[in-house]
A = this chain, B = another copy of it.
Amino acid sequence: MRTIELRGNEVILIDQTQLPQRLVRVRCRSAGEVAAAIEGMKIRGAPALAAAAAMALAVTALRSRARTKERLLRELESAGRRIGRTRPTAVNLFVGLERALSAARAAPDVASARAAVVQEAKNIAEEDVRVNRRIGENGAALLDVGDVVLTHCNAGSLATVDYGTALGVIRAAHRAGKKIKVIATETRPLLQGARLTAWELRREKIPVTVVTDGMVGYLMAKGMVDKVVVGADRIAANGDAANKIGTYSIAVLAKEHGVPFYIAAPLSTFDPNLKTGAEIPIEERRPEEVIFFRGVRVVPKGVSVFNPAFDVTPARYITAFITEKGVVKPGELSKLFKS
């Protein structure tokens, strides 16, 4: 089951706001519709956003009436700007856009440019699945039989095209017979851990227990967590990593309790242009995400709310990165980017 697919001249994606109640797919017929789906969190997760961005351009290309390559490029660039304004933190979204645009630019004429964008969107999706499987294999070796692994938010199938990064590691270890148990933090405000991670793991009969975000310290103090594996949205050259808000708190707690803290992410999540995490743009989302819960007000009127969607975990808290090229410590990141 793919989280997102290009089918004909439509992008078909699972509406993640409806889970766990309903497994519903929505169709997007334009870049604008894909952009709205991204803004509304129908699709989220850094690797999935790379595919969504490229597919948005593919749909634009397929529906374009442009008769010249230049005209098509202008339409694609306009669509790309719209997609680029949706969410600032996950670098993969911009990588997906740039790959699709570059493919079009390199083509000799309008017909081949159109085909190249579509092909590149498909390539990104297929690569994502392959890369996640490799991340899974590489990370599974770090997990021991019977480990209890804590994960935050959702870095699973639903955050990617399929298989997942952090949950890919857990899946691979599970399939290798390691009898892994998972603790999923519910991940306020949008509850991706409770709604999405628990749903994915339950479908595959991987044992999962949901806790609130505030319980992590207690669980670690009780010795109930063996390892932490999470995903990332953007990783700076020095290894500082942005991920869903709450990740940094978990990393500090892991260090305090001697629990290894791993980030599973494809190379496309690394942004070597940024020296440190201080340069990563952090999205602030609408306060209503915290104020209302499915329409019920939980914060009194007139009270302000702060709603950053991500935080940055400094490299010193990260035991290692699990990538498709292997497991790499923060101090050794430059290895990954040598040609």
Contact = CB atoms under 8 A, between A and B. Distances in A.
Contacts of A216: 249
Q: Report the 3 A-B pairs with minimum CB-CB distance, sorted nearest first.
A: A214-B246, A217-B249, A218-B311
A209 B305 contact: yes
Contacts of A188: 186, 188, 212-214
A290 B20 contact: no
Contact of A249 (B209, B214, B308): B214
A218 B198 contact: no
Interface in A124-178: 152
Count of identical protomers in the assembly: 2
Contacts of A306: 183, 209-211, 215, 219
A186 B298 contact: yes
Contacts of A201: 303
A63 interface: no
Nearest to A314: B221
Interface string A214-245: 11111101000000000000000000000001
Nearest to A293: B293
Interface stretch (A85-93, A96-104, A189-197, A258-266): A189-197
Given A210-B303, A217-B251, A293-B294, 20 more contacts: A20-B300, A186-B298, A188-B188, A188-B212, A191-B298, A199-B303, A201-B303, A207-B304, A209-B306, A210-B290, A210-B291, A210-B305, A211-B290, A211-B305, A213-B246, A217-B252, A217-B311, A219-B306, A221-B248, A293-B293
A269 interface: no
A202 interface: yes
A16 interface: no
A273 interface: no
Contacts of A20: 297-300
A296 B297 contact: no
B248 A217 contact: yes
A257 to B, nearest CB: 9
A13 interface: no
Given A212-B246, A249-B253, A308-B215, A297 B21 contact: yes
Contacts of A95: none
A322 interface: no
